């Protein structure tokens, strides 16, 4: 047996864990026995992780020039280092005529694909997901609904792994919608609190808007290409012969779905509110896995986007603006989880900037490193909140460095990594994205030079903001004067090993995770990361037109790297000066520009604008239509019914069954006739 035979078990195991805890966990929790719940949840994710690692190692060691004999339902594509497992037919809809008059056959199978790209996502989801499950044992130990929490968390893992392994867009869409459902359930976990329930509904509805674009893109794709198989769509796109408007339309519609799931402008508003859920949920869904689905979708569809410069320009532009916009909001937030939420939105913008300039490997590289340091930061924030007895306002913290040392030190490593300090993981991925943005005029998108320069400038500015607000958060939380309330001081304590050990493991990834992608500028050759992902990237040279490689400007790359490092240190130094030394400069600055400060503090009033422009008119229109339905439609139906009832009551007097009454009616009729004739 080869490991790819068991690929289907990777998502099925957490699904079984969700079912077992969902059906039987309530009995165990009612009996105050949480161990079976924990065992089922951890064992299912641990086995899924082990199977994932086995498949990844097998794929890594596969000799593509001399493939072993594979089972009949396993198909290998040596050119793209891909192995597809066809489990069973799903939708054999039959023949139809496509957009260009071509004969097509709509046939969708349960198809799982293992290749270098899905292997990266498989590792991120399974590994980080397992650590967060372990961390949750300590964090959720005293919360009601323990069985429900782990059932939802296992279900999320199953859906996310389905999304990652899906070999066609429809299987991916099942996982895509599944994680949307799970995010609703987990964000609204504390459903007795109105703001948690409202946040869950907001996330669900906002994602549905994006999913409409995704679904429309799939319909157009099927009509144009005659298939939803990812490999076939990419190969057909790079083969040439398809109009540019069609590729742009499909690419932009898919990206609309990505903006919803990955919280990009204008559909980012759900993610900050999603912090209402338990902190481990924020770490798993809203930092390391679900929100990266959109980036994975664009990278998986790289052949389609490579042949559509217009779609790439939209992706890069939206990602760049989102990175700057969200970073500016993070500068002044005071809720420890809200700062990290807007940081996540900003970092996702960086990822879309990477894939949007055609640097798919760089964008996925930042996805990979971000999973370590942002997962670490969210779990670190959860550890702080847990130690503080539920307090989340950083203005009520301070002086925690010596009180929760493991949490503080790992949090510092996460801040250094996300700030882009050299030799930490975030530096390697962020620097690569900025360099690719600067040179994007020579990339697949062939952007105008001014556009490439603007992307780079905005990216550098967002990097400086990131370094500043992360160390502002760090200094206000762990240094500065002690602002902890007397009640909270009784709660402050270091967390148990079940929570601190995952922090140190993620901290190791935040420090060393970037060394798989050392820049070519340092090594003189393509790094492991680029070599690993290169086979899954469809090149325009495989089709009608190739992009000639531009001459490499080493001096310019060194300059871009020095600038990105300089702005990172500038942001850290500014945060040190203003917050570590406790100057009054931030307060004075806020008082000098109260309108601007209030605008940024209130997130540019985007929620209020959306409420006034969309939600309130929609609610008013709904009420008007409800009134029309009630008084006009229902009123007309009820009037007809009432008229029939009255008519029936009148006719009852003519059908009494008494002969004398009938004789009277006959006499009256005769008299009437005589009156008219005489």
Q: Report the pLDDT value the prediction gives residue 543, as an integer from 0 to 100.
A: 44
Phi, psi of 387 (to 5 degrees): -70, -30
Whether the per-residue pLDDT at 54 is higher than 50: the answer is yes
pTM over 0.85: yes
Q: Are 253 and 247 in contact (CB under 8 A)?
A: no
The residue assigned the tokens 């000799």 is 63
Domain ranges of the chain: 110-601, 612-677
Handedness of CA 135, 142, 393, 387 (dihedral sign): negative
Q: How far apart are CA 46 and CA 54, in angstroms?
A: 12
Output the average pLDDT for the chain.
Answer: 91
Percent with pLDDT over 70 in the chain = 98
Whether the per-residue pLDDT at 205 is higher than 50: the answer is yes
In this structure, the dihedral spanned by the alpha carbons of residues 620, 624, 625 and 631, taken in order and rounded to 10 degrees, is 160
In this structure, the dihedral spanned by the alpha carbons of residues 89, 92, 96 and 101, taken in order and rounded to 10 degrees, is 0
Whether the per-residue pLDDT at 519 is higher than 60: the answer is yes
Cα angle, residue 218 at apex, residues 173 and 326 outer, rounded to 5°: 70
pLDDT digits (tens, 9 = 90+) for 628-667: 898 999 999 999 999 998 988 887 777 777 888 888 888 8
The residue assigned the tokens 């799982």 is 112
Phi, psi of 496 (to 5 degrees): -70, 160
Q: How far apart are CA 640 and CA 313, in angstroms?
A: 59
pLDDT digits (tens, 9 = 90+) for 524-560: 777 889 999 999 999 875 544 444 555 567 888 899 9
Q: How far apart are CA 115 and CA 363, in angstroms?
A: 17
Residues in the chain: 678
Is there a cis peptide before residue 237, judged by omega within 30 degrees of 0?
no
For 84, what's the count of Cα atoms within 13 Å in the CB-facing half-sphere? 17
Dig out the tokens for 635 from the structure.
């009123």
Q: Return the HEC string of 182-209.
A: HHHHHHCCCCCCHHHHHHHHHHHHHHHH
The strand ranges marked E within 115-218 are: none
| DSSP state letter for 411 | H
The SS3 call for residue 109 is strand
Phi, psi of 84 (to 5 degrees): -110, 130
Cα angle, residue 280 at apex, residues 277 and 282 outer, rounded to 5°: 55
Whether the per-residue pLDDT at 286 is higher than 80: the answer is no
Cα angle, residue 286 at apex, residues 285 and 287 outer, rounded to 5°: 100
Residue range 271-296: mean pLDDT, rounded: 88
CA 1 to chain centre: 35
- The CA distances from residue 359 to 320, 355, 356, in Å, are 14, 5, 7
- The CA distances from residue 174 to 215, 251, 551, in Å, are 11, 19, 43
pLDDT digits (tens, 9 = 90+) for 132-186: 999 999 889 888 899 999 999 999 999 999 999 999 999 999 999 999 999 999 9
Q: How far apart are CA 367 and CA 420, in angstroms?
A: 14
Residue range 2-19: mean pLDDT, rounded: 94
Which of residues 202 and 72 earns the better pLDDT score? 202
């Amino acid at each position: 047996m080869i490991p790819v035979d068991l690929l289907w078990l990777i998502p099925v195991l957490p699904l079984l864990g969700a079912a077992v805890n969902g059906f039987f966990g309530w009995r165990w929790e009612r009996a105050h026995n949480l161990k079976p719940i924990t065992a089922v949840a951890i064992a299912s994710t641990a086995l899924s992780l082990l199977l994932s690692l086995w498949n990844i190692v097998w794929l890594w060691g596969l000799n593509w020039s001399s493939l072993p004999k594979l089972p009949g339902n396993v198909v290998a594509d040596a050119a793209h280092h891909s192995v597809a497992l066809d489990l069973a037919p799903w939708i054999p809809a039959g023949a139809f005529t496509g957009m260009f008059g071509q004969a097509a056959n709509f046939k969708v199978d349960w198809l799982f694909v293992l290749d270098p790209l899905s292997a990266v996502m498989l590792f991120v989801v399974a590994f980080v997901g397992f650590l967060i499950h372990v961390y949750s044992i300590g964090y959720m130990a005293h919360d009601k609904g323990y069985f429900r929490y782990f059932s939802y968390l296992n279900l999320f893992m199953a859906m996310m792994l389905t999304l990652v392994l899906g070999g066609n867009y429809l299987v991916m869409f099942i996982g895509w919608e599944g994680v949307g459902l799970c995010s609703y359930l987990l964000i609204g976990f504390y459903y007795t609190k109105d703001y948690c329930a409202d946040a869950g509904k907001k996330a669900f509805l906002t994602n549905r808007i994006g999913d409409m674009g995704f679904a429309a893109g799939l319909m157009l794709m099927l009509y144009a290409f005659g298939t939803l198989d990812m490999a076939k769509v990419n190969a057909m796109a790079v083969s040439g012969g398809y109009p540019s408007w069609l590729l742009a339309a499909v690419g932009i519609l898919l990206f609309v779905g990505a903006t919803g799931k990955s919280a990009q402008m204008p559909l980012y508003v759900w993610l900050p509110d999603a912090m209402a859920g338990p902190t481990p949920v924020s770490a798993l869904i809203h930092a390391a896995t679900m929100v990266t689905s959109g980036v994975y979708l664009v990278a998986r569809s790289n052949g389609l986007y490579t042949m559509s410069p217009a779609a790439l320009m939209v992706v890069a532009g939206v990602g760049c603006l989102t990175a700057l916009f969200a970073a500016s909001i993070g500068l002044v937030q005071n809720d420890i989880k809200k700062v990290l939420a807007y940081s996540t939105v900003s970092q996702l913008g960086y990822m879309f900037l990477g894939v949007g300039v055609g640097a798919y490997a760089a964008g996925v590289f930042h996805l990979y490193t971000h999973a370590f340091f942002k997962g670490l930061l969210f779990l670190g924030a959860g550890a702080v909140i847990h130690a503080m007895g539920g307090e989340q306002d950083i203005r009520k913290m301070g002086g925690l460095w010596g009180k929760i040392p493991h949490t503080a030190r790992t949090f510092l490593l996460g801040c250094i990594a996300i700030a882009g300090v050299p030799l930490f993981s975030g530096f390697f991925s962020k620097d690569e994205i900025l360099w690719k943005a600067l040179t994007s005029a020579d990339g697949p998108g062939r952007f105008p030079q001014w556009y490439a320069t603007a992307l780079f400038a905005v990216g550098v500015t967002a990097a400086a903001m990131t370094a500043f607000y992360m160390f502002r958060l760090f200094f206000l939380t762990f240094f500065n004067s002690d602002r902890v309330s007397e009640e909270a001081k009784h709660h402050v304590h270091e967390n148990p090993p079940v929570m601190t050990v995952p922090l140190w493991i993620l901290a190791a990834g935040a420090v060393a995770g970037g060394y798989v992608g050392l820049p070519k500028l340092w090594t003189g050759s393509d790094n492991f990361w680029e070599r690993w992902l290169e086979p899954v990237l469809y090149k325009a040279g495989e089709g009608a037109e190739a992009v000639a490689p531009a001459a490499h400007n080493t001096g310019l790359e060194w300059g871009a790297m020095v600038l990105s490092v300089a702005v990172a240190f500038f942001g850290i130094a500014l945060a040190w000066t203003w917050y570590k030394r406790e100057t009054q400069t931030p307060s004075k600055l806020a008082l000098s520009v109260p309108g601007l400060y209030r605008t940024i503090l209130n997130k540019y009033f985007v929620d209020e604008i959306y409420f006034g422009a969309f939600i309130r008119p929609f609610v008013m229109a709904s009420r008007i239509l409800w009134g029309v339905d009630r008084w006009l439609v229902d009123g007309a139906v009820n009037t007809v019914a009432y008229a029939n009832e009255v008519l029936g009551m009148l006719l009852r007097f003519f059908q009494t069954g008494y002969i004398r009454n009938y004789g009277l009616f006959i006499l009256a009729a005769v008299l009437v006739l005589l009156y008219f004739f005489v």
